[in-house]
Amino acid sequence: MSETGSSDRAEISSVFPPFPAGPAPSGGDTAAASARTPDPAPRDDAPPRASAREVDDRDENPFGRPGRPLRSNPFLFGLTAALGVLTAWLLVQAIASAGSALVLIIVSLFLAIGLNPAVEWLQRRNLSRRTAIAIVFGAVIAFFVVFGLAIVPPLTEQTTGFVQHLPEYVQQLQNHPMIRSVDERYQLLEKLQQYVTSGDLASQMFGGLLGVASVVISALFSGLTVLVLTLYFLGSLNSIKETGYRLVPRSRRTRVRLLSDEIIKQIGGYVAGNLIISLIAGVVTYIFLAVLKVPYALPLAIFVAVTDLIPMVGAVLGAAVASGVGFLTSMQAGIACVIFFVVYQQIENYMISPRVFKSSVDVPPIATIIGALLGGALLGIVGALLGIPLAAAILLLVREVVVPRQERL
C-alpha cells in the first residue's frame, strides 16, 4: 500500500510542478525557518560584493589607493641630491648662455615701464592708448635720429682730417729733437718703416676693421631689438600686469597688486625724472658751449645728456670729454668748461635732482650708492641704471612687508 502510494505521488510530481512557498512565517517562526533553510551557495561567475569602506576609497581615489611611501635610504637620498645639483647646474648654464638676451629683455621692460607715465599722461588728455604710444615712441626714435645726425658727421670729419694730416704729424715727430735722439739710439723709425711695409700691419688693420664692424653691427642690432621689444612691452603692459596678478592666490592678490603698482610707479618716476634731468643738463651745456664758441657744441651737449643718465660716473665722463674739446680750442675755454661743470654738478645734485625725484622715488643716499655699485658690478652700465629703482622696490617691500611681520611676532 505504501509503495503504491509513493509511486503514484512521484508520477504526479513529475507531471505537475510543486506550488511556491507561502508567506514567510512571523515572529519566532522566522528564526526557525532561517535556521532550517541554509543560505544559497555563491555562484562562481557572480562578481564579489564590495564593502562600504572599499566604495568610499574608490570614490576618493578613482585610480586606486596610493601605496606606502618609499623608505629613505642612502642610495635614494644621494640620487635625489645629485639630480637636484645637476638640474641647478643646467639652469645656471642656460641663464648664462641666454645672458645677453635676458639683458635686452630687462632693459626693454625697464624702458617700457619708464615710458608708461608719459603714455598715461597723454591718455588723460583724451587720447587713445595706441595714439599715445605712437607719439611717445616717435619722440624716442626722433631723439636717436637727432643723436646720430649730430654725432656721425663730426666724427667722420675728425677722422678724415686726422688721416689727411697724418704725414704732417709724422714729419713733426721726425723734426723733434727728443724723438730724433731716441731714433738715433734705437732706430725706431727704421723699425716702424719695416713694419709698415710688411704684411703684418695690413692683416692687423683688416682684422681690427672687421672687429670694429662686428661691434657696430652688434650694437645696431641690439638697439633695434630693444626698440622693438620696448614697443611690444609698452603696448601690452596692462595685460602683462593682469596676467601676473592672476598667478597670485586670490587671498593675497589685492595686496600684491597694490605693492606692484607702487613699485612700477616708482620705476616709471625714476626713469622720467632721470630723463628730465639729462635734458636739462644737455640744454644748459649746449648754451654754455655755444656762448664760448666751442666747436661741435650740439654733439657734445647730446653726449653730456646721454652720459648723465648713468649714475655716479656718467656726469664726470661727459664733463671730461666736453672739457677736453674746450682745452683743444683754447686754454681759457678749457678752464671755463671745468669750472662750469663743477658748479653745475653741485646745482644738479643739491637742487635739481631732489626736486625732480621728490614725488616719485624716495631712496636714501646710501641706498642709491649701494644700488648703483652692486648693479654696475653685476651688469655694467645697465646694472647701474637698474640699481636705484630696484633699491627703491626692495626698500618698499621691507617697509611694507618685512617690518610689519616682525612687529607682529
Query: Chunked in runs of 10, what are the mean pLDDT values of the chain (409 residues)?
Result: 50 50 48 48 53 60 66 74 89 81 84 86 88 89 81 73 65 69 69 60 54 71 86 88 88 87 82 85 91 85 86 83 85 90 89 74 71 76 76 82 82
Task: Say what the pLDDT of residue 343 is.
Answer: 93
Task: Say what the pLDDT of residue 32 is.
Answer: 45
Q: Tell me the three cell numbers of residue 100.
A: 645677453
Q: d(Cα 72, Cα 76) in Å, to the nearest integer?
A: 7
Task: Say what the pLDDT of residue 376 is.
Answer: 74
pTM exceeding the 0.75 threshold for the entire prediction: no
Q: d(Cα 112, Cα 183) in Å, to the nearest integer?
A: 59
Q: d(Cα 138, Cα 234) in Å, to the nearest integer?
A: 13
* b (16+ CB within 10 A) / e for 250-285: eeeeeeeeeeeeebbebbbbbbbbbbebbebbbebb
Task: Say what the pLDDT of residue 252 is.
Answer: 86
* Residue type, position 141, single letter: I
> Between vectors from CA 343 to CA 342 and to CA 349, what angle results, nearest 5°?
90
CA-based nearest residue to 360, from 281, 262, 230: 262
